[in-house]
Chain A
Amino acid sequence: MNITLASFLYLAAAVAFIIGLKRLQSPVTARRGNQLAGLGMLIAIIVTLLISDIISPWIVVAGLVVGGAVGGFLARTVEMTAMPQLVAAFNGFGGGASALVAAAEFLKSDALPLRTDITIVLSTVIGAVTLSGSFVAYAKLQGLVSGQPVGYPGQKIGDPVLAAIIVGLSVWVVAGGSASVLWLLVLAALILGVIRVLPIGGADMPVVISFLNAFSGLAASMAGFVIDSNALIISGALVGASGLILTNIMVKAMNRSLGNVLFGAFGAAAMEGGPGAIGEKPVRSATADDVAVTLAYAGSVIVVPGYGLAVAQAQHNLKELTNLLEERGVDVRYAIHPVAGRMPGHMNVLLAEADVEYEKLYDLDQIQDQFPRTDVALIVGANDVVNPGARDDETSPIYGMPILDVDKATTAIVIKRSLSPGFAGIDNPLFYLDNTMMYFADAKRAMTDLVTAVKEA
């Protein structure tokens, strides 16, 4: 194939990506948009195969078949509740691929121009950090390692030293270091990804996943500089922009800075300063029947879902409950906090899977003023995002984080397994309010019991 024609086809692929992303602006056009982007990718792959001198076809075929099969299998079998860890894993693979491409380019020839050396180093480092960081995030989300912040002694000194080593090795590679220096650099970058993500707690995962998403895009863009591919540069920049926007939204929704999330060791600090009286104050504990009666005779209910809903996989049971309530004439809406769950939009996907109409889902800003006019706020597996301390208590570690004002509803019903504090170790004053009913149960069990109880109410 003629190179000029190939360049135009690559451009067409890049345009397909942009239009595909644009169509994600509405749920109606989104699916077509994604398919268009997929078509763009297919074009890019075919063009590349046609213009390359394929010396080792079996390697190409083996890679395509193995990768395609694994990716297809994961995509088809994953539970919607496990979406955050799947996206984290895919991010890791993308970053890893970009690092490998750059490393292979470095090994190909001895005398590379300065600019190529620099972009190779950038692509390798960013890609390797994305790879290891994403898999640590995956392990945390999957429960393979603790969701709590995990640090190591001397981290405050160790991290900057490692960063300095990476900078040093990078300069060495650019200044003419051999392949073994590059491998050392890869190793150092992999370690950096691990030790930077391990100290970040589970509830901060929406920020981390978004940030790694930006990184995987940046790595692809850098790989595009290395191999002189505009298609790669453009696509990588799009993804980098997308990841940064999401990171920014997540950080704002927690009233924190990116630096604070990545380097704050938030959980550790919060636990030292947290109030000690957890569980000693009186709470109003309710049975399934109490809760069912309150819900069944309410005029309006706002459901506030959180990560506990995902863990218990209770989205279908929740939908069954709200169906019953709606049949009884109760007005049911859902309030989605931006950082509910473990990734941006996590709750929306779960509720979409359970066939909840998206017109009933409201953002924080859209529904905040509705709580004082609502009979019942039903909190299912959420904690920090409904903690009034973030609004009222200046000493709270999460003071200033925007929360859903569920305490302003006539009654707040909290479904939670126990009184244990959320990830951050912060007590929640909501649990001790007079108008709060605590229903201690696993979210799924609670939903099935409530369905039975509401039918009898």
Chain B
Amino acid sequence: MADLVIPITVFVLAAYVGFEVITKVPPQLHTPLMSGSNAISGVTIIGALVVAARGDTTVAAVLGFLAVAFAMINVVGGFLVTDRMLEMFQKKDKP
């Protein structure tokens, strides 16, 4: 279990950074925050790609395909819809 120390350290520090950064997001932007952070959680696509790339058996191929497709829906959909929303917020700024 000793080799878990470094990953857990990374996890705890990142969670702390997350709390610090996100506490300051105003309520107006909570929906884009949620969809944007949701897109970031699609980073699991890294793992999905590794799994899909070595799809040597049928089961592995199916799992890999589904994992990449799911993660990709999350990533592409999440970033695009957040962009659409933030565009609406941004145009209020122009005089």
Contact = CB atoms under 8 A, between A and B. Distances in A.
A101 B44 contact: yes
A232 B44 contact: yes
A241 interface: yes
Consensus secondary structure, chain A interface: helix
Contacts of A213: 34, 37-38, 41
B26 A25 contact: yes
Nearest to B4: A115
B74 to A, nearest CB: 4
Nearest to A210: B34
A377 B61 CA distance: 59
Contact of A358 (B54, B75, B89): B89
Count chain B CB atoms within 10 A of each CB in A33, A38, A239, A240 and give the residue with the most. A239
B30 A219 contact: no
A44 B46 contact: yes
Contacts of B55: 55-56, 59
B73 to A, nearest CB: 4
Contacts of A38: 39, 79, 83
A231 B23 CA distance: 22
A31 B39 contact: no
A283 B10 CA distance: 60
A353 interface: yes
A348 B30 contact: yes
Contact of B32 (A24, A108, A357): A24
Interface in A228-244: 228-243
A27 B39 CA distance: 18
A13 B33 CA distance: 18
Given A232-B43, A235-B43, A243-B37, A67 B32 contact: no
Nearest to B19: A241
Interface of A: 10, 13-14, 17-18, 20-22, 24-28, 30-31, 33-35, 37-38, 41, 44-45, 48-49, 52-57, 59-60, 62-64, 66-68, 70-72, 74-76, 78, 80, 83, 86-87, 90-91, 93-94, 96-98, 100-101, 103-105, 107-108, 114-115, 209-210, 213, 216-217, 219-221, 223-243, 245-246, 249, 336, 338, 343-346, 348-349, 352-353, 355-358, 361, 363
Interface of B: 1, 3-4, 7, 10-12, 14-19, 21-56, 59-61, 63-93
Given A97-B45, A233-B10, 8 more contacts: A27-B93, A31-B90, A71-B78, A97-B47, A98-B47, A246-B30, A336-B27, A357-B92
6 contacts: A100-B67, A101-B67, A213-B38, A239-B40, A349-B85, A352-B89
